[in-house]
Structure 1
């Protein structure tokens, strides 16, 4: 996605004085792309979402383990103490008791079991795990877009609040001079004490507005630092994004297909359908082959060793298991129906979000044009009121009202320009086009498949392979 060449820019109005931005050490310019790149590389929310995807990737090798043999070794060591009671002759009624004897008993067995058929459980579990991975990848994209959108909003908010602080400081300076002039005219008797009180009231109000705007600026700077990882420097005013849709209807249609939340819901539905097959497998026969070898020392008589091997084919046919398996199948089918409705809900939500973002962007652009016309008219009106006040045909309150109206219009323009920027990025996000790849950020794109490829067919190992996905 490219930046619009003919879009409205904030450069002319959003240049904050160095005293408001930071110290001279932070005077280095910082573009929106640079801030987005830092957030993409360092934001902890995004890092956590990547780790969560890697955890979900492990579902696939766990499912594939159903095809693989299990090898077990069982050993036992103990001691047996026994005695015997019997008669020396068949007709003799006298019984003899042998002394107690102890012997060491050792048993070792190794077995290998290879599943042949598990009722389709392994196949269904693997499909379900793969769909879960694809759904989680879509959620990672949704998280990435949200982090980048929040960063855009924070970046624009800092510039907007800096400009509002500048406008309020300028207004305070103007009203200070206005109060001085009003006091001079009061001393010579041209105006009354009421005019002085009105000027003092406006000056006090401007100081309150300036303090409020400075507080909001510090809040915006804190939000920026949380998302990006460092305080804002001298920010460069960005431009709106040019989105690849022509109207609200097209935006809604694209969002209903391409929004990451919709994509995630589609794969969740597929995984829910696979769960039906997973649970149904418990009602089908199970076939496996087991090979074992054993050695038993002194198990029956002292000094006797038994060795042997065994190969068996095992068939298990479930007939009735209490009904819990049937309930699990029914439950999975209802969950699949729920997931199907979630898909439709996500599509409607994405369509609404895209339509709303389009209308917000359109309204913000129209507001910019209107407010610019308002500013031109307010400047002319203020000049006329000031001239008329000199000759006594206008009061001090008229001048103050005209100045306030011009200030309000300039603040409205700053906010409207900021809304154009944020609305264009919000629209791109609803379309699924606000990713690092779409924005062509100067970063190494996170490879969502690298860790998956590393662990999918791994038979053993408990190391950390997360570096493969970085």
Structure 2
């Protein structure tokens, strides 16, 4: 006996559409994960660069203050200044030593974080430049985020799948039509050596009348889940809108801060030079020189942080608008082809997926094909 469903209340079509929407949502989530990884690596990279530069500034400041302390002691020994000036120089040097120790600790933390993400400690890193963005205004960034952010796209497809789930649940209330075909062979019980063969083809219509209310409960549950999915779409849209606009404002602010801090560095350098000259002739004190040196260091450190903020915000905007993938960045790396995998298995009636994995660039052990395993984290 063979039985073939002809119509099942639209359930098969609805489930197929739901499965496709879930696949599309998963592909968008894959892009979101890829962007998160890239953004974390960029932040780690920039942090290593920043902490390295800050450590260099702090070490240079320590060297300058060591010379300053020695000069102050020489002046004290010949009676030109008091012990107070020596103590002030010693205090400034002690603070500088502390700053160097803190900077070294921060750099080691940054290096460990980099290794956690990349799989190896950083070598000689080149200071990165801000990423060139395809948008030129805050409004354009916000609109691009609403349209292209993979989290928003995933939420929309998940909501579409939830709508399909309502249709799937509703199909339980609709009639089912199927065709049954059967055949038989019957031997003559008298032993005359004859037999009778026959067959039948029947159409069957099943109309649900009452099933205990379970189907209505499933419809209500599906509708409630769809409302939750729709709320998730709204939440994701608001989140990425805020991410894009906030990062854009921070980008603009960091550009302005770089310009003003650059002027501050030049002014502090001139002020330090003048203060040192005035100390020689006795119109300024050792404390004045130490304060001027600290102001210059502070502005230099601030400039390093301003540049790091500018770079990070440019990549944050790219992630918000869905443009921080290996393809968008033009990286010469092996990539998992999720679209190829989808086309390889979407109509597969059987099989465990090894061939589809190979077509998509995945080895049987789960790693990407043609990747140098020495570069993979242990």
* TM-score, normalised by the number of residues in structure 1: 0.71
Q: Counterpart of 1:240? A: 130
Shift of 1:316: 2.4
Q: How much is the aligned-residue C-alpha RMSD, in angstroms? A: 2.1
Task: State the SS of the aligned residue for 1:449.
Answer: helix
Task: State the SS of the aligned residue for 1:268.
Answer: helix
Instruction: Give 1 or 2: higher helix fraction.
Output: 2
Query: Which residue, 412, 415, 421 being the options, matches 2:302?
Result: 412
Q: Counterpart of 1:338? A: 228
Query: Which residue, 274, 279, 287 being the options, matches 2:169?
Result: 279
Q: Counterpart of 1:199? A: 89
Q: Distance in 1 between matches of 2:182 and 2:259?
A: 84
In the alignment, does 2:372 pair up with 1:467? no
- Matching of residues 346-385 of structure 1 within 5 Å: 346-385=236-275
Task: State the SS of the aligned residue for 2:332.
Answer: coil
Q: Distance in 2 between matches of 1:407 and 1:277?
A: 66
Aligned residue pairs, count: 352
- The 8 Å contact of residues 59 and 100 in structure 2, kept in 1 or not, is answered as yes
Q: 1:295 to 1:162 in 2, by over 3 A?
A: farther
Shift of 1:286: 1.8
Q: Counterpart of 2:31? A: 141
Q: Distance in 2 between matches of 1:201 and 1:467?
A: 65
Larger Rg: 1
Shift of 1:390: 1.1
Q: Distance in 1 between matches of 2:152 and 2:333?
A: 27
Q: Distance in 2 between matches of 1:357 and 1:220?
A: 23
Q: Counterpart of 1:23? A: none
In the alignment, does 2:329 pair up with 1:439? yes
Q: Distance in 2 between matches of 1:295 and 1:379?
A: 106
Shift of 1:124: 0.2
Task: State the SS of the aligned residue for 2:141.
Answer: helix
Query: Which residue, 172, 188, 193 being the options, matches 2:62?
Result: 172
Shift of 1:282: 1.1
Q: Distance in 1 between matches of 2:201 and 2:113?
A: 67
Shift of 1:292: 5.6
Q: Distance in 1 between matches of 2:228 and 2:46?
A: 40
Unaligned runs of 5+ in 1: 1-110, 297-305
Query: Which residue, 109, 114, 117 being the options, matches 1:219?
Result: 109
Task: State the SS of the aligned residue for 1:235.
Answer: coil
Shift of 1:318: 1.4
Instruction: Give 1 or 2: higher strand fraction.
Output: 1
- The 8 Å contact of residues 257 and 347 in structure 1, kept in 2 or not, is answered as no
Shift of 1:113: 3.0
- Matching of residues 19-30 of structure 1 within 5 Å: none
Q: 1:294 to 1:414 in 2, by over 3 A?
A: farther
Shift of 1:293: 6.9
> 1:156-181, CA deviations, whole angstroms, 9 ceiling, x for partnerless residues?
11111100111111111111111111
- The 8 Å contact of residues 345 and 353 in structure 2, kept in 1 or not, is answered as no
- The 8 Å contact of residues 268 and 295 in structure 2, kept in 1 or not, is answered as yes
Query: Which residue, 255, 277, 288 being the options, matches 1:398?
Result: 288
Shift of 1:307: 10
Q: Distance in 2 between matches of 1:200 and 1:327?
A: 78
Unaligned runs of 5+ in 2: 187-195, 362-378
> 1:274-316, CA deviations, whole angstroms, 9 ceiling, x for partnerless residues?
11110011111222234467899xxxxxxxxx99977554432
Q: Distance in 1 between matches of 2:184 and 2:57?
A: 89
- The 8 Å contact of residues 221 and 232 in structure 1, kept in 2 or not, is answered as yes
Query: Which residue, 333, 336, 342 being the options, matches 1:452?
Result: 342
In the alignment, does 2:39 pair up with 1:161? no
Q: Distance in 2 between matches of 1:433 and 1:348?
A: 18
- The 8 Å contact of residues 125 and 278 in structure 1, kept in 2 or not, is answered as yes
> 1:441-465, CA deviations, whole angstroms, 9 ceiling, x for partnerless residues?
1123431111111211112223533
Q: Distance in 1 between matches of 2:229 and 2:348?
A: 31
In the alignment, does 2:315 pair up with 1:425? yes
Q: Counterpart of 1:123? A: 13
Query: Which residue, 329, 333, 340 being the options, matches 2:219?
Result: 329
Q: Distance in 1 between matches of 2:34 and 2:353?
A: 27
